[in-house]
Amino acid sequence: MAEFNNILTEVKEGVLYLTVNREDKMNALNFDTLEELKAIFDEVADSKSIKGVIITGAGERAFVAGADISEIAELNEVNARKFAENGQEIFSMIENLHKPVIAVTNGFTLGGGCELAMACHMRIASANAKFGQPEVNLGIIPGYGGTQRLTILIGRGKANELMMTGEMIDANEALTLGLVNHVLPTKADAISKAEEIIEKIISKAPLAIGMIIDCVNAAFLSDENGFQTEANCFARCVKSGDYKEGTTAFLEKRKPNFRGE
Ligand code: COA
């Protein structure tokens, strides 16, 4: 994978470790960082060797403390719409990727950082993580999908409260609300938990994992019948070699050897 200015990448045992690396700016997402994210996820989608992604922020203080406010301060009505649509498109790429993406959030996970974490398929937090959508303090609203994904994840009342007050919540409250899957004492523990989960996932049939992602996402699309999507995806799985392998291995009382075909 190419080198990037604002993002560190490392592939270990089929997992891409992606670290947003602007520690002096609390890993805030500027335009260049978003473009780098897009380039990376384009490559991950086509890669045969990368089977899953763990996203973190550099250092101990922040996952990502939002979009870069120095760039937000320069927006006008025309480019603001494009700014939001561009971020939404990149985060949708992550949400729709046919490989598991887990956010490990430590410290400030705010604004676009919370939106990035919510676009991932799961979130694991360290105990010091703090979540919020503080855009209202700047006279704006979340623009990278946060109004939608937060509502889906934690429900209308709590989403309204968080976005309208701009207040932060801690990791345990995020766990109670269903915003994160697990809370671990430290960032290192949270990364280990993410590794444990992602290793399990990538040992399964890759096509089936991609189909689960499509079906779960379909549950939140008003113009799609999720039950029909499920039936179609189920049928696609049955056409795969991994389906033959999985069922045969069960009947032969052995472990399946999935090949992603
Ligand atoms: N965009 C750009 N720069 C940011 C940033 C953001 N979203 N969040 C933090 N930074 C920068 C600060 O400007 C500061 O830079 P400087 O050292 O060059 O002045 C540096 O990161 C450290 O932040 P600082 O505010 O000094 O740390 P703190 O511990 O006092 O506060 C936060 C941390 C996260 C609470 C505070 O930085 C903050 O409120 N950030 C903005 C959060 C936000 O509104 N996000 C949504 C944006 S749409």
The CA distance from 82 to 104, in Å, is: 28
Q: Is 115 a catalytic residue?
A: yes
- Beta carbons of 171 and 126 less than 8 angstroms apart: yes
How many whole angstroms from 229 Cα to the centroid of ligand 1?
A: 42
Single-letter amino acid code for the residue at 243: Y
Q: Which protein residue has the closest C-alpha to ligand 1 atom 27?
A: 26
Q: Which of 160, 55, 43, 152 is nearest to 113 (CA)?
A: 55
pLDDT band at 1 (very low <50, low <70, confident <90, very high): confident
What residue's CA is closest to ligand 1, atom 1? Answer: 68
Query: Which pLDDT score is estimated for 145?
Result: 98
Active-site residue (options: 3, 85, 95, 135): 135
Q: What amino acid is encoded at 63 in this protein?
A: F
Angle at 239 between CA 233 and CA 241, to 5 degrees: 120
Pocket of ligand 1 contains residue 68 by CB under 6 Å: yes
Distance from the alpha carbon of residue 9 to the mean position of ligand 1, in angstroms: 24
Residue 139 neighbours by CB under 8 Å, 6+ apart: none
Mean pLDDT confidence for 194-211? 97
CA 20 to ligand 1 center in whole angstroms: 15
Which of 210, 25, 53 is CA-nearest to residue 120? 53
Q: Is 110 in the pocket of ligand 1 (CB under 6 A)?
A: yes
Choose among 100, 147, 104, 145: nearest CA to 123: 104
CA distance 221 to 223: 5
pTM score of the predicted model: 0.97
For residues 63 and 26, the answer to whether their CB atoms sit within 8 Å is: no
36 catalytic per annotation: no
* pLDDT tens string 8-61: 999 999 999 999 999 999 999 999 999 999 999 999 999 999 999 999 999 999
What's the one-letter identity of residue 241? G
Sign of CA dihedral 258, 8, 132, 147: negative
Tens digit of each residue's pLDDT (9 = 90 or more) over 91-102: 999 999 999 999
Q: Take residue 6 and report the two structure tokens written for it.
A: 């604002």
Does the beta carbon of 25 lie inside 6 Å of ligand 1? yes
Give the nearest ligand 1 atom to 62 CA.
Answer: 34
What pLDDT, on the 0 to 100 scale, is given for residue 120? 98
Closest residue by CA, ligand 1 atom 20:
25
- Integer angstrom CA distances of residue 41 from 9, 25, 44, 200: 11, 23, 5, 21
What is the predicted pLDDT for the residue at 2? 87
How many angstroms is it from 154 CA to the middle of ligand 1? 25
Q: 207 alpha carbon to ligand 1 midpoint, in Å?
A: 40
Percent of the chain at pLDDT above 70?
A: 100
Q: Please tell me which residue in 115, 199, 230, 252 is annotated as part of the active site.
A: 115
CB neighbour list of residue 189: distance below 8 Å, 6 or more residues apart:
126
Measured CA to CA in angstroms, residue 195 lies from 15, 119, 159, 210 at distances of 9, 18, 29, 19
Pairwise CA distance, residues 20 & 32, whole Å: 12
Say whether pLDDT at 222 is over 90.
Answer: no
Cβ count near 181 (within 10 Å): 17
Confidence band for 181, pLDDT divided at 50, 70 and 90: very high
Q: How far apart are the C-alpha atoms of 136 and 159, rounded to whole Å?
A: 13
